[in-house]
Structure 1
Amino acid sequence: MSSAEKDAARSTGISIAVVGIALGLAVAVYISPKNEYFLGNFTYLWLPQAAVLALALACKASRESVGGIAIALALYLSVFAFWFSGRNADSMAWLGYFFSFPGALIGAGFAIVSEKPKTPITPILQALGWVVLGVAVNQTVVCSTVMYCLGN
């Protein structure tokens, strides 16, 4: 791989990571109430994502994997917000969001360990898949034990 190709791959990885993180921030800003509770809600929604991303960076995850993890977490937040708004609204439902992050951490760990960058998109998709799987398994456990997650 030439120097120019390495620079392009590095730039792509940084771009994906920035887009993923910005997406998570944007979703948290969008769904947080725009009143005196904004900062507390925003912090509650985005701090778990930041913790997972910080741990991924501490474990030397590639920029592409960080981007995939961030995109998966932003998607999870938006789906969770959609599902638990309206007729499924419950003030305690957001505990389900918070308690699903062990699955996100495990998924991110698998993404980092299984990282085999054949193409620039491979680590992104692997990270996205592992985190979505981890959250889904964790959310299933949460919904079948301590929470009732299905609407009326």
Structure 2
Amino acid sequence: MTILPLIFVSLAELSGTYTIPSGAYMENPAEFPAPEIEWDQGSDGIISLKYDLPYEVVGVEADPIKLQSVSAQQPLRFRGATAEGVCRNQEGLISCAISYKKNQEGLFPIDTAAGLAYAEGLNMDAVEIQTLIKAQETLMHEAVGILNFRLP
């Protein structure tokens, strides 16, 4: 087991990408900008990760996903009220596989209409809109995603 060196990054606002992997509803992965990412490592070693899902998928009013580290060794393990994640730090490049909690119907609840409304303002073509709809279905039903970003 590798113990991570303490990398103190106090409430850094970062940018990155969010990928919805291929699955039953989508043949190829779909990558979107991750609109807001915050990484805060306290002096106690606990890391807080907060991020917004892509606005094209859930709209701008969706609650952020909030996770806290429960391990200090690679891979970092995170837990939160709506999700769990496993993250790897390779020279400041963070890659997190996130799995979301589903509701009783077996869905990760997201506001697809709000995502589509946001996407309308981006002048997406018909193919891009179809890919977005498939990405929303995949996230709802399979409830997994990959968040990638670089620490400063």
Is the TM value for this pair above 0.5? no
TM-score, length basis structure 1: 0.30
- Indicate the structure with greater strand content: 2
- Indicate the structure with greater helix content: 1
TM-score, length basis structure 2: 0.30
